[in-house]
Structure 1
Amino acid sequence: MSISSVSSTSTSSSSTVSSSSSSSSTSGLGDFNSMLTLLLKQLETQDPTDPMDTSTYTSQLVSMSQLEQQSQTNDLLTEMQGTLSGLMSSNVAYGYLGQTVEVEGDTAPLQNGAASWKYDLPSGADEVTVTITDANGKNVYSGEASADAGTNSFTWDGTLADGSKATSGAFTLSVTASSDNVNSKVDPRAVGKVTSVDSSSGTATLSLGAVTTSIDDVVNLA
């Protein structure tokens, strides 16, 4: 395989919203139902000659009403939180449209005739070998890459083993670092341009050509 088919470089090592609204809503609803059951039991078992005091009855009804309103408020807040989270996620996702991003995962798209990845070597290695497979698991390229310490970049120009060129698709990179005759796997990160955004499911997903990934997997702008 010609060394011109790849580009390998090295550089120096470079909001979860939580809420108790849902549990509060469930707790509030449970308290409301318990209080209603207790009040009905009191009414059923009260002494006809000594009925429940009107003020006590009224006070309990007011307390029940407040519990019900709190439960409804918690439900509404939970719904609003979900809506706002979805909108925020969508807004961030659409901001990536047209941008080149670095994402968690070893599968990258072939875009403009090339596929790119990044990987980290904390202390460098004696040798780094890479293998690329296509969507069917077929080995389409094997070679060497940068063994320098820090963040390394690897770009494949789509040249296949038979000399022809891949034109599109998703390709997976495997990286193995060797030091003192000991081999270790290295987790690469895919790089690609965001071509479309889908937020219909409530969680925004990004399409990098033939590769789809969650917005949560974005590591950085590349």
Structure 2
Amino acid sequence: MDIAPASSSPQQPSAATAAGTQLAQDFDTFLSLLTTQLQHQDPLDPMDSSEFTNQLVAFAGVEQQIQTNKNLEQLQSQLTAARNAAAVDYIGREVDIRSDKGFHDGSGLTFRYDLSRAAKQVRLQVIDKFGRTVFETDGETALGDHLFTWPGTDFAGTPLAAGEYRLRVAALDEEGRPVPSTIFLRAPVSAVSFADGTASLEVKGNEVPLDEVNLVR
């Protein structure tokens, strides 16, 4: 089980924090002005009571908004901490992520491809880092999801070296038009890393944010 250390880079303040800081500064300015106004008002012509009431209402509103922003910031921090803690539970679990490539370490790669409509012909091609097609076979043609497991070998069945490989889905319909497809890599999560308060999963050479996981098995 690998858990990468948290990034040492300073986190940028959130929008809520920045807004709260500005609001607090405005609140202090408002309080200072109101106090000065009361101290220097003409005793023979004091501030109108309705105007004073309106200012007090505004005073209370700003104070309440500052507290609301503090509460929201605390809630956001708690949710982020809980989400990141839950990310560790993904280690060892099999997930689907939207990616057409993965790192072959000797055990091959498993992909899921989703055809947007039925095809007449589907060719599945495995391509190495040099752009060479090292393996090719027919694929399922029905509409929807299909699994394909590449054993990590070439056309002759010879095991290939470890490295990054990707899948290309070439699908054509009855009229010879390309059929769009979406490719997902299926593999276990090997590690979790944290940076700027966000958790990312390591999946066969891919580093993906937690919210980009398409399926957990």
Whether these two folds match at TM > 0.5 is yes
Are the structure 2 counterparts of residues 152 and 81 from structure 1 closer, same or farther at C-alpha, using a change threshold of 3 Å?
same
Measured in 2, the distance between the counterparts of 1:28 and 1:201 equals 25
Give the corresponding residue for 1:175.
169
Match for residue 139 of structure 1? 133
CA distance in 2, matches of 1:153, 1:121: 11
Mapping for residues 1-222 of structure 1, pairs under 5 Å: 25=20, 28-29=23-24, 32=27, 35-36=30-31, 39=34, 42-43=37-38, 46-47=41-42, 49-50=44-45, 52=47, 64=59, 66-67=60-61, 69-160=63-154, 164-180=158-174, 181-222=176-217
Task: Give ranges in structure 1 of 5+ residues lacking alignment.
Answer: 1-19
Q: Distance in 2 between matches of 1:48 and 1:216?
A: 63
Q: Structure 1: how far apart are the matches of 2:74 and 2:164?
A: 38
**8 A Cα contact 1:22 1:74, kept in partner:** no
Distance in structure 2 (CA, Å) of the matches to 1:36 and 1:137: 67
In the alignment, residue 195 of structure 1 is paired with which amino acid?
S
**TM-superposition CA deviations, 1:170-202 (whole Å, max 9, x none):** 322121211112123311111111111113431
Rounded to whole Å, the distance in 1 between the matches of 2:153 and 2:86 is: 35
Per-residue deviation, 1:122:
4.9
CA contact (8 A) 1:111 1:192 kept: no
Equivalent residues, number: 202
**Cα distance per residue 1:37-77 (max 9 Å; x no partner):** 752673587336545599x979967963x456434423422
Change (3 A) 1:89 1:107: farther
| Map of 2:7 onto structure 1 | none
Unmatched segments (≥5 aa) in structure 2:
1-14
Q: What code does the residue aligned with 2:204 have?
A: G
Q: In 2 relative to 1, CA 201–24 (structure 1 residues): closer, same or farther, beyond 3 Å?
A: closer
3-state secondary structure, aligned to 1:132: strand
**Structure 1, 42-51 or 180-189: larger mean CA deviation:** 42-51
CA distance in 1 between counterparts of 2:39 and 2:129 reads 70
2:200–2:207 Cα contact (<8 Å) kept: yes
Looking at structure 1, the residues matched to 39 and 155 of structure 2 have their Cα atoms a distance apart, in angstroms, of: 86
Instruction: Write the letter of the residue equivalent to 2:215.
Output: N
CA distance in structure 2 between the aligned counterparts of 1:50 and 1:186, rounded to whole angstroms: 78
